[in-house]
Chain A
Amino acid sequence: MRIDQLRDELGSHPADPRRVQLRLRSLRARRLRYRAVISVIALVVVLVAVAALGGLRRSAGSSSEGGSGAPNFTYACGTISLSEALAADDLSNGASIIVGRGHLTGVVRNAPIDGGGYRQFVVDEVRVLAGPALTTRTAWIAETWEATPLPATVNGGTRAPGATWSVDGSFFGEWWPKNAADKSVLPMLNIQPYQDGLVIFTRRACVDVSGVPNIPYSGTFSELPGEDSNRYARDYPVRAVKLADIVALLHTIQQTSSAGAGCPENRASPPVPTSRAAPRHS
């Protein structure tokens, strides 16, 4: 074989540049699709993780606020409507919905398990809107203990504010009585500011109030010392709902509940099991 024969033969099967370009384009497109799929999967994993984290917080928050069998709606984070929150977490589980005026005593207690703090709050005046009458005027407010930042909001907020109430002490709240089964669980109180006939829902409440008439609200509230809740509250939409509308909503819930008595499927879901203990008598 001569060298020129060899070269002729070697050069006789060139790849078609157009077909190579097409093939290359196809591979690049496939890679883009692959990366897109991977990105979507990664996003889903992150969302699931965030949702799971949120669920853990919610369940832990339930425990911290109400002790065993005493959940709250403060960590529902907007995925649950106000009516569902009131029905599911409060009226079906022995809480009292109240408006009143009160003040912090300065007494702090730590939970026995996770060390989260609770502030003692004394109710000076109270009006029970729904649920049983109060048997004591002293309850405990859970400190905000979200050390892990939340996903950033459109306003850039990464942390939910803590409990707030009006500067004159007025509040709207859910009062969880001392646990009947576990006497060591103290009464708990979740509060939102109440002023000028309006209940103000910060992200602390984490309920969706779009089902009732509401308006945006801005203002400064009393807060637990050191929590800077007014600043964190401004990172999220703050909405105000007329107390009259909430009272009407409570009536509707109670009527529906009476009509559905004996039909478990008509009742709200039971509270999520809790992992964070409420403060107990030491």
Chain B
Amino acid sequence: MRFDEFVGAEMAGLGRFAGALTGDADAAEDVLAEALFACYRHWRRVSRAANPRAYVRRVIVNTYLDAGRRESRRRTSPTGDAGVVDRVQEESTGRVDDRLAVGRLLGRLTPAQRAAVVLTYYDDLDAPAVAEIMGCTPGTVRSHLSHARAVLRLEPDPRRDAEVVPDED
């Protein structure tokens, strides 16, 4: 498949995925364009991958994580530190109904935690698949999800309860 054909067929889904990762349409467009451009430059290799769609998503995630790292170097206030997790856990009994509040809580996640959340709860991927895209171990993914669930005060997901157990590592 040619690059332009792939982009034409997948753009809508990729746009939603990038938007879920960044939480901001403008940032999503930047990340997605940059990621697609990277794929374009190496399209021969990408198109030969077993699953080009997963490969492109991996590039998008990496681009998003790199952008997060660049951003964190520019800023001094960490967003996903243990203090935040602790405070959220103290309030974990309250339900968050307000959409803005949901957005604010998502904003407290680290990029890696958010990526794990998006791939897990938005793309419905299991931990090994998420780990493959994020380039880490399933245990690390579960760890990210555990912290993210605490920050988000996420209700238990019956389908995933068995999966989202923090690893010992």
- Residues of A at under 8 Å CB distance from B? 1-3, 5-17, 19-21, 23-24, 27-28, 31
B6 contacts A by Cβ under 8 Å: no
> Looking at the complex, which of B12-20, B65-73, B136-144 is the stretch in contact with chain A?
B12-20
* Chain B residue at minimal CB-CB distance from A17: B11
CB-defined contacts of B105 to chain A, threshold 8 Å: 1
Q: List 11 A-B contacts (CB under 8 A).
A: A3-B155, A3-B157, A6-B122, A7-B122, A11-B19, A11-B20, A13-B19, A14-B16, A15-B16, A15-B25, A23-B33
**How long is the Cα–Cα vector from A94 to B157 in the complex, in angstroms?**
100
**How long is the Cα–Cα vector from A20 to B26 in the complex, in angstroms?**
9
For residue B25, give the distance in angstroms from its CB to the closest CB of chain A. Answer: 5
**How long is the Cα–Cα vector from A178 to B122 in the complex, in angstroms?**
91
The 3 closest A-B pairs by CB, nearest first: A23-B33, A15-B28, A10-B20
**How long is the Cα–Cα vector from A210 to B142 in the complex, in angstroms?**
81
For residue B95, give the distance in angstroms from its CB to the closest CB of chain A. Answer: 7
Asked if residues B33 and A7 are in contact (CB atoms below 8 Å), the reply is: no
**How long is the Cα–Cα vector from A19 to B32 in the complex, in angstroms?**
10
CB-defined contacts of A24 to chain B, threshold 8 Å: 7, 33, 36-37, 40
Q: B106 is contacted by which of A2, A9, A15, A23 (Cβ under 8 Å)? A: A9
Asked if residues B22 and A5 are in contact (CB atoms below 8 Å), the reply is: no
Asked if residues A1 and B122 are in contact (CB atoms below 8 Å), the reply is: no
Asked if residues B15 and A3 are in contact (CB atoms below 8 Å), the reply is: no
**How long is the Cα–Cα vector from A23 to B11 in the complex, in angstroms?**
13
In the complex with contacts A10-B118, A15-B15, A15-B28, A20-B155 CB distance below 8 A: no
CB-defined contacts of B103 to chain A, threshold 8 Å: 9
Q: B97 is contacted by which of A5, A15, A16 (Cβ under 8 Å)? A: A5
**How long is the Cα–Cα vector from A21 to B105 in the complex, in angstroms?**
31
Asked if residues A6 and B33 are in contact (CB atoms below 8 Å), the reply is: no
Asked if residues A13 and B33 are in contact (CB atoms below 8 Å), the reply is: no
B30 contacts A by Cβ under 8 Å: yes
In the complex with contacts A16-B15, A17-B12, A1-B95 CB distance below 8 A: yes
CB-defined contacts of B90 to chain A, threshold 8 Å: none
Asked if residues B41 and A31 are in contact (CB atoms below 8 Å), the reply is: yes
CB-defined contacts of A1 to chain B, threshold 8 Å: 95-96, 102, 105, 152-155
In the complex with contacts A1-B154, A23-B33, A6-B102 CB distance below 8 A: yes
**How long is the Cα–Cα vector from A3 to B152 in the complex, in angstroms?**
10
For residue B124, give the distance in angstroms from its CB to the closest CB of chain A. Answer: 10
Asked if residues B34 and A19 are in contact (CB atoms below 8 Å), the reply is: no
